[in-house]
Amino acid sequence: MNVPFSKLSQADLVVDAVCEGGTANKNVKDDPLRYIFDCGNQGGIRFKGSPNKPPVNFCVLYSTLIDPDWPDELDTYSGQFLYFGDNKKPGHELHETKRGGNKILRHAFEKLYSGSRDLIPPFFIFNKGPTGRDVIFRGIAIPGSENLSESEDLTAVWRTTEGKRFQNYKATFTILNISKINRSWINDLNKGNGSLKNAPAEWKQWIKTGKFKPLTAPKAVKHRKKDEQLPKSKLEIQLLETLVQYFKKHPKGEYAFELCAVELIRLMDANVGECETTRPWRDGGRDAIGKYKIGIPDSSLEVDFALEAKCKVSHSSCTIKETSRLISRLRHRQLGFFVTTSYLATQAYKEIIEDEHPVLILAGGDIAKILLKHGIKTKAQLNSWLSQNFA
């Protein structure tokens, strides 16, 4: 669904609808958000009101979802939205940003845990659209997540730019199961009318009781196609190609990549514990074996896992022959990790899913995202990491 630029000021907001940008001015006047809301036309955090006199009437969170330095992430399957605040350059204290967006984040999460939900503004989530200044409405969100504690859903993270350290917020939101926002409520918010008369029922329920239902969307087809497994952005492609070439030239070849695969799953999940690679001539089809921890430090158990790694160029798929080596050696209740710099052929992927094998697939695109998430954003940084850990 597309909402024409000329109708933005009268239209309802529908989840996943494209709000078209203008084409006449070639500047900020073509920004669609300024016609939907009475707010600014620049920046990732936009609002009506003053962050110095909270609460604001509403807050718009906009993201391109492709910034490698600040990797915002929308998980449409769980309804979670990971968003970085607006202190993105050194020289300022965490809350002393130009527009004060981080003050809004701090206030919202403070009120969440003090039980003052009526003082939390609605957060409207948008990301960059398919062309020009188009944006896509992804839903209305609340601060926090049912899976995270007070110490986890809003954290101050450190970054270093040009040798200077600074902090920014990393915030987790939950998108509510609301498919449409009526224009009447948006008009109320724009006018500073705090009435909930025209607000969605789900928003009213959360304000009153704290209960909510996330907007989840499980995939109809559980196996990923080739293009869903491979990197999409130029930077992700460049990082993956750099990694492949490093191990293709490595004197220990595939065995050296197995060590890297172990480290990648550790970066992906801190619950991956003790792990060791098996000898190339005695591996029995397993490139590594280890323990995966489930639970909390004082009450946990460890599950055995096996890992197989394949370092291939992106156009060369992994077939059933290669995945079956891992599957055949998984004992009852064991986990399996299949890590590849390329992708799984359709039949191999479908067999794992349809036969319900407990195997997690990390394909080329996943590897690139893991590297970016952990601050490896250039070829130089990647080569440095590789040479330090897998010489």
pLDDT digits (tens, 9 = 90+) for 175-196: 999 999 999 999 999 988 878 8
CA distance 98 to 87: 9
From 209, 237, 264, the end of a domain falls on 209
When divided into structural domains, the chain yields a total of 2
User: What is the pTM (predicted TM-score) of this model?
Assistant: 0.81
Check pLDDT > 50 for residue 283.
Answer: no
* Same domain flag for 343 and 245: yes
* Same domain flag for 239 and 370: yes
What is the span of the domain harbouring residue 337?
Answer: 226-389
* Same domain flag for 156 and 266: no
* Same domain flag for 190 and 291: no
Which residues are registered as beta bridge partners of 303? 292
CA distance 112 to 101: 17
* Same domain flag for 385 and 243: yes
* Same domain flag for 185 and 299: no
**Could you report the per-residue pLDDT of 307-363, keeping only the tens digit for each?**
999 999 988 999 998 898 888 878 766 889 999 999 999 999 999 988 889 999 999
223 three-class SS: coil
- Which tokens is 311 given? 């370092």
Q: Is residue 216 part of a domain?
A: no
**Given this model, what pLDDT does residue 239 score?**
95
Check pLDDT > 80 for residue 386.
Answer: yes
* Same domain flag for 133 and 80: yes
Q: Is residue 214 part of a domain?
A: no
Q: Is residue 218 part of a domain?
A: no
**Given this model, what pLDDT does residue 280 score?**
55
* Same domain flag for 204 and 232: no
- The phi and psi torsions of 58 (rounded to 5 degrees) equal -160, 165
- Which pLDDT band holds residue 270 (cuts at 50, 70, 90)? confident
Check pLDDT > 70 for residue 47.
Answer: yes
* Same domain flag for 243 and 162: no
**Given this model, what pLDDT does residue 220 score?**
66
Closest CA relative to residue 267, chosen from 209, 320, 337, 329: 337
**Could you report the per-residue pLDDT of 84-124, keeping only the tens digit for each?**
999 998 988 999 998 899 999 999 999 999 999 999 999 99
CA distance 290 to 261: 12
CATH classification of the domain holding 278 = 3.40.1350.10
* Same domain flag for 172 and 235: no
* Same domain flag for 153 and 249: no
**Could you report the per-residue pLDDT of 186-240, keeping only the tens digit for each?**
999 998 887 889 999 999 999 999 999 999 987 766 788 999 999 988 999 999 9
From 181, 209, 237, the end of a domain falls on 209
Q: Is residue 366 part of a domain?
A: yes
* Same domain flag for 69 and 44: yes
CATH classification of the domain holding 113 = 2.30.280.20
Check pLDDT > 90 for residue 171.
Answer: yes
Rg of the chain taking only CA atoms, in angstroms: 23
Q: Is residue 34 part of a domain?
A: yes
Q: Is residue 217 part of a domain?
A: no
- Distance spanning both ends of the chain, measured CA to CA: 51
